[in-house]
Amino acid sequence: MDEEEKKTDGDSGISGEQPVKKKGSFFRKKGGQKRPKGALTAAFAGKLLDRKWVVVGVVAILLVMSLIGLIFVQKNGDVTSYLKDDTNTMIGKKVLEEAYSIQGDLNIAISYLSKDQVQTIYDSIIGDSTLKNMYVTTDEKGDERTSTIISKSVWIGTFDMILELGDGGIDIGPIHVDGIDPVVAQQIYDSASGNYVKQTELGNGTVVTTYILSFYLKSAASDNVTIEALNRIEQIINDNISQQKSAGLISDTISAESCYYFGGTAQNARILVDSSVNDMPIFVAIAVVAVFIILLLTTHSYFEPLIFLATLGISILLNMGSNIIAGNPVGTISTITSSCSTILQLALAMDYAIFLMHTYYEELRVKLNPRDAIISALPKTLASISASALTTIGGFIALFFMQFGMGYDLGFVLAKGVLLSLLTVIILQPVLLLLFGKPIMKSQHSWVVEPRLGFVSKNITKKGVAIAVIAICAVICLPCAYFQSLAPLGYISTTEATATEDMTTPQYVLQESSNQV
């Protein structure tokens, strides 16, 4: 090829002297050279570490915002509210709400008291001024109106009027109501007694009568006002029993708490909310202590567990505060989601932080300083943990398509939590490693518990061992799958009074119920 042809080729962009700008040139250096693998992530890590205090400041601001948002996140303890609108349960609830102003219900079982004593408690609940003004509504003009939160109530005393009608009629104010057939009146009363009066024989032969009081509430089971109403009703019962004990009408050997039991959707919601608010901090504390001890035994430095817990603890708080945008309606999540999401996020995301720390130590052996080791470790870690996180997030997103609405509620919160954990490991943990590099190195120690898996790694790939492992798994999995199919699944249970031979007090065991309303 002569000089003129070379010039022509160069002008057309064919020769190597003038390379064509190919697709994806964003990943190439100037001059057409391909960037080294992980160069962009390494550059990101370098800029991140150069602005470490900016990162700390931004995280601190987000943390404060999350703590504020956490105050406004509501918890829904009514499991039935996550059912689809076309289910029989929701249709029934809608009818009760529209026709009878009933949303929540409360059943109270009272034992060891006479019918007259229970009547006193019932009248105190119905006539309580606090309950009468607890339910607040807004009219068309925007003015607030208060009314009683109890829409309907019934117990065996409600049917005493039926017996009076069987005796020839009753007078209700100026109106006289004619009587009915005494036999019919007694049949109605006896039928009601089967539902509202229970006889229990204790282990010592004593027969205890239990009266069932049913209250139907205008507010939903999980509403804060419903929880307040239940707390007020419980206070009324305790005050009445204490007064009757002071008057000598009830034995001092019987505690007030053993005289009554609460049930119904409102009580179920209250238990879930109380468990979420009161028990969850205990569970989280136990989980954190357990994780901390395990990390102390299996890491190279006494300071490492603090880095892990700080990184994931911040991501958990960010997730909890950002739940203000989660749920349906927005800002409201189920108590079940609230209870399990924290520990699940800690368990799912711990591997990300450990993997980055492990890679950091490997790079620290060949790099001159911690900064270079972090910059080199982050690209190698990101590919693995991002793939793991994305598959986990995808699994939680699949919960969105459940017909049961709690699937979306739980899936959204956990998917968001895994994403935030990934981001904190990528952005915050490198900064923490740089800031606390010296304490990490000074507190290094040999493994207290060092895994010894050499025997497994040498033999697991042998054909005979592989076949044996597969056979054992099959033998274990098949019966487990069979018995799992026999396990009952239910979202809601109701209580029914039953007696046992060694009972010393009336007890109530969970029974299945097809009527979820």
Residue 365: predicted pLDDT: 87
What number does CATH give the domain 52-72+299-451? Answer: 1.20.1640.10
Q: Which residue is associated with the tokens 């010296």?
A: 438
Which has the closest alpha carbon to 112: 233, 241, 267? 241
Share of the chain above pLDDT 90, in %: 27
Per the CB < 8 A criterion, the answer to whether 105 and 217 are in contact is yes
Predicted TM-score (pTM) of this structure: 0.72
pLDDT of 511 reads 38
Q: Do residues 504 and 202 make contact, with C-beta atoms less than 8 angstroms apart?
A: yes
pLDDT tens for each residue of 96-126: 777 767 788 899 999 888 899 999 999 999 9
Domain boundaries defined on the chain: 52-72+299-451, 83-269, 459-486
Residue 331 is encoded by which pair of tokens? Answer: 């800002």
Band of pLDDT at residue 513, cut at 50, 70 and 90: very low
Residue 28: pLDDT band (50, 70, 90) is: low
Q: Measure the CA–CA gap between 224 and 134, rounded to whole angstroms.
A: 11
At 294-338, the pLDDT tens digits run 888 888 888 899 999 999 999 999 999 999 998 888 888 888 888
Give per-residue pLDDT as tens, 34-75: 556 667 888 888 888 989 999 999 999 999 999 999 999 988
pLDDT band at 6; cut points 50, 70, 90:
very low
Q: DSSP assignment of 125-189, as one string?
A: HHT-HHHHT-EEEE-TTS-EEEE-SEEEEE-GGGGHHHHHHHTTEEEETTEEEEP--HHHHHHHH
Read off the pLDDT of each residue in 177-194 and give the average, rounded to a whole number. 74
Q: What is the pLDDT of residue 8?
A: 44
Dump pLDDT digits (tens) for 258-276.
Answer: 889 998 888 888 887 777 7
